[in-house]
Structure 1
Amino acid sequence: MSAEQLAELSDFFVVAAVLLYVFAMVGFAIELAFGRSRPNKAEAAVETPVEVKLPVAVGAAGGASDVPAAAASEQVPVKASPGAARAGTVALALAWLGWAANFGAIVTRGLSADRWPWGNMYEFVVAICFAAVTAFLGTQLRHNVRFMGAFVMLTTALGLGLAVKFFYTVAGPVMPALNSYWIAIHVTAAIISSGLLTIAGVSGVLYLVRGDGMSRLPSRADLERVAHRAIVFAFPLWTFAVIAGALWADRAWGRYWGWDPKEVWSFITWVAYAAYLHARATAGWRGRAATIVQLMAFGCLMFNLVGVNIFIEGLHSYADVD
């Protein structure tokens, strides 16, 4: 196939990925809306349960007996739609198909341009969406995190849609500064860590919106655990990306650090996530306070990945947005 045909195929794969992610989002949303409700175990563990006996409860033989109120409430079944689980299974299959289309878009884009396929903002966003879905599906292989599916699919579908609408760039060569093997090292680490941190950000938002008591979302403890594990995996990768960027800057521009906006905000993002991990490890921060800190760090990440490239002029302004 010619370079033009490969570029057109890449564009087709992106559109297919958006549609598949949207359909998967609908399926996950159906499962979440009509699935089984769960108590907030995080708050239940904090409070000491008080056993209150009901005055009269009907036993198995029809007689009266004293039954703890908590036990009586546990006997009330929480109804779930029979089709909710099936909708979630179909959604998971669609998510895998969208992941494959997303991967195909990246590969064909690289083949059409004959280079690493993340040399501009459009390609970078497509790659980050792929990394986020990969992190979600990879986690799903070991733990049931389908409750995040609707929100991850929404985020990635919006990301790809915005990339096509506002960031699209015709496949072609890149500026000399990007024509280096360092793009495969520095940018790849940034993409993978950004995908993991996106999963943490989604978990943090769900933590804040989850109500008390019964909910179709997992407990706040489970949501916080997902976010923390994603950040623990991503933080060393982001650290490596910052260091690799400094080494690349020395090779390209003759200095390791030049206070370029991208360099500054990458470091600010690193400090924000370091503060989150430090607060958890030393001060024992948990719950809402720790979640707010990690969401502030996620905001720094998003501004670094998108805002700096669009709104601030610098050596890293590769968005190619008019």
Structure 2
Amino acid sequence: MQMPVNETLSQYSDWSYTTSVVVYLLAMISFLVEQSFGKHGTRAAERSRARQLVGVGAGAGSDSGDTTSDVAEGTSTGRAPRTRTERIGRMGVALTILAAALHLAALVLRGLATSRVPWGNMYEYIMAITFVGVVTWLVLLRKYPLRHLSAFVLLPVVILMFVGGTMLYAVAAPLQPALQSYWLVIHVAAAAASSGVFLIPGAASILYLIRSAHDRDPVKFGRFAPKLPSADILDKVAYRTTVFAFPVFTFGILCGAVWAEAAWGRFWGWDPKETVAFVAWVVYAAYLHSRATAGWRGTRAAVINIVGFAVTVFNLFFVNLVSAGLHSYAGVG
């Protein structure tokens, strides 16, 4: 017997979801400000620091305690004083963490309201994969100097969550009978986790192509590309996140095959969603194989990664919403 839906918790979940989208949007604006004006702000800080140091040198023989104390504030830690744009960027990180906490609350409350895992339809599935994508990005921010690129990661997150919360919104309800299986927890969780992580290498590979094109021809993307991290860093981010997500994606496909055998009496039936998921798996496998054996670390590898990302997005939307197949009733799988 299924538990009744707790409408109060469901309402709180919807409010948390909507609020998280708004906070993500504010964070994205903060990152765009840093991306647009950060370099100019850094240069201004360097000029200001140079003037301060000159002032210290000029007044070395006089009583200039005030000037020395001003410089000490910025140099005692060995770092230049934070600029206004840097503070805005750090505020964007804080807003992203707050939005992620609200995002997690929306997921948990949805699960508590329905007494099941919160990924039983497209709305909930998008909520899950975007949360995984944001958490993955926050982890990467601790390792790589990528903060000013956060707007390019939050943009697809905000778009996906807006679409999910409007056109794909589903009222909290018990699972359909066909989905009442423990494999929903395992298979869909693995698919959501890998799809969320795949958001990161997709964005990183696109930015890699922009940066590498600028490195070959400085005229291309003249104002935008110089503010990106080096092509080497973007390539590492794309590769390492793909290496992490690919085994999880493989595990999800294998679990789906086992669930299909239990539910439909066959491990594989070339259902549209199964087929496109297999195509995505082949593309990502080709990406990893080409890097490991042929040493593809440049544009060709980035293009393959972008193709894999495009197939994943195609599988998420077109196959779930347009094509007819055994997965159509669920919107996930």
State whether TM-score is above 0.5: yes
Deviations 1:181-200 (CA, angstroms, capped at 9, x unpaired): 11111111111111111000
Aligned to 1:16: 19
Residue 255 (structure 1) aligned to one of 252, 263, 266: 266
* 2:316 maps to 1:315: no
Q: 1:141, 1:23 → 2: CA distance?
A: 21
Indicate conservation of the 8 Å contact 2:6/2:113, yes or no.
yes
- 1:284 partner letter: G
Aligned to 1:246: 257
Offset of 1:317 from its aligned partner?
A: 1.2
Aligned to 2:162: 161
Structural mapping, 1:271-310, within 5 Å: 271-310=282-321
Indicate conservation of the 8 Å contact 1:148/1:203, yes or no.
no
- 2:174 partner letter: P
Offset of 1:142 from its aligned partner?
A: 3.0
Offset of 1:251 from its aligned partner?
A: 1.3
Seen in structure 2, the aligned counterparts of structure 1 residues 319 and 184 have a Cα distance that, compared at 3 Å, is: closer
Structural mapping, 1:214-233, within 5 Å: 215-233=226-244
Larger helix fraction of residues: 2
- 1:275 partner letter: A
Deviations 1:90-136 (CA, angstroms, capped at 9, x unpaired): 00000000000110111111111111110111100011110100100
Structural mapping, 1:100-249, within 5 Å: 100-210=101-211, 211-212=214-215, 215-249=226-260
Percent of residue pairs identical: 45
Offset of 1:140 from its aligned partner?
A: 1.7
Offset of 1:319 from its aligned partner?
A: 5.9
Offset of 1:245 from its aligned partner?
A: 0.4
Q: 1:281, 1:123 → 2: CA distance?
A: 36
Offset of 1:223 from its aligned partner?
A: 0.7
Aligned to 1:43: none
Indicate conservation of the 8 Å contact 1:310/1:319, yes or no.
no
Indicate conservation of the 8 Å contact 2:283/2:304, yes or no.
yes
- 1:123 partner letter: E
Name the TM-score, length of structure 1 as normaliser.
0.83
SS in 2 for 1:191: helix
- 2:156 partner letter: T
Indicate conservation of the 8 Å contact 1:148/1:202, yes or no.
no
Seen in structure 2, the aligned counterparts of structure 1 residues 81 and 26 have a Cα distance that, compared at 3 Å, is: farther
User: Which moves more between the two structures, 310-319 or 8-17?
Assistant: 310-319
Residue 8 (structure 2) aligned to one of 5, 9, 26: 5
SS in 2 for 1:215: helix
- 2:234 partner letter: L
User: Which moves more between the two structures, 147-156 or 13-22?
Assistant: 147-156
Deviations 1:53-101 (CA, angstroms, capped at 9, x unpaired): xxxxxxxxxxxxxxxxxxxxxxxxxxx9921110110000000000001
Offset of 1:220 from its aligned partner?
A: 1.1
Q: 1:197, 1:148 → 2: CA distance?
A: 16
- 1:285 partner letter: W
- 1:22 partner letter: L
Structural mapping, 1:8-47, within 5 Å: 8-36=11-39
Indicate conservation of the 8 Å contact 1:35/1:81, yes or no.
no
SS in 2 for 1:36: helix
Aligned to 2:87: 86
Name the TM-score, length of structure 2 as normaliser.
0.80
Offset of 1:36 from its aligned partner?
A: 3.1
Q: 2:104, 2:124 → 1: CA distance?
A: 12
Aligned to 1:270: 281
Indicate conservation of the 8 Å contact 2:287/2:304, yes or no.
yes
Corresponding pairs, count: 279
Indicate conservation of the 8 Å contact 2:283/2:308, yes or no.
yes
